[in-house]
Every structure is written in structure tokens, then in C-alpha cells.
Amino acid sequence: MSIGSGRLRGVRVLVVDADDEARRAAVVALATEDASVTAVDSVRNAIAFAYLTHPDVIVADLLMEDHGGWRLLEALRKCEAVVAAIPVVATSGGRDRQDGEAALLGGFAAYVAKPFESETLCEVLARVAIATALRDPRP
């Protein structure tokens, strides 16, 4: 599918990354595909936002300070059911294949290595959003 095809239209995405440049790159990539994107720079802000708005998908960096993405996933799973069910896609600048394997085994819905290609990030989020919609359709 080509960039700008609108495949994420209607999908609400929360991007969580402490790195301004990485956060901006994710927002631009996802907005190009018509996703409704909000970006925050910390686990604390992500949890607050997830409670308030219940995004469809969260994209979180694993390597933020204090294992951010891992902490976020753990905190979300302790929340009320609607928040706990939000799929989280892990990102990481680590080049080790084990990062992705650990993320998937640890409960993340998917993994995207950084720096990512816009097409790759959007494709992964489209797959996660479709799988989630099939499993738990919104009213």
C-alpha cells in the first residue's frame, strides 16, 4: 500500500517517546495515513491520556528512561479493562533481534525497530488496529 492511502483513518494512536525527534517522526508518519495522533513524552502522561481518551493503539519506546515502554505496559495491564485492553506496539533503537522477541513475549502487540521507515510503522499499526477491531469492535 502506498504512503498517504488513509489506511489509518479513524484510528486513534497515542505515541509515547521521550525523544522529540522520534516522537515527531512517528506523528508525521501516522498523520500521513490519516490517524488521529497524540504524542506524549512520559509514561505518566501516557497513562493519564489513556484513561481520558482510550486510544485504539499505543506506540511506546522501550528504552525511555527507567524502561519506559515496559513500565507503561505493566501499568496499563493493572488498569480498568477498557484501558488494559489497549494494544501497545513497542519501538526501540536497539539493533538486537532479541529486543523484538522479548517485546512480543512480554505482551506487546508488535515491535518496530528504530529508526523505522514510515511505511513499516503504518503497516504494523494497521495490522494491529484491524486485529483489535475484529476482536473487540467498538460500539
Say which CATH topology domain 12-132 has: Rossmann fold (3.40.50)
Beta bridge partners of 37: 13
How high is the pLDDT of residue 137? 55
Supply the DSSP symbol for 38.
E
The DSSP annotation for 56-99 comes to SEEEEETTSTTTHHHHHHHHHHTS-HHHHT--EEEEE----HHH
Q: Cβ(18)–Cβ(61) under 8 Å?
A: yes
pLDDT for residue 136 is more than 90: no
Q: Tell me the domain boundaries of the chain.
A: 12-132
Q: What is the pLDDT of residues 38-88, one digit of tens each?
A: 999 999 999 999 999 999 999 999 988 766 899 999 999 999 999 999 999
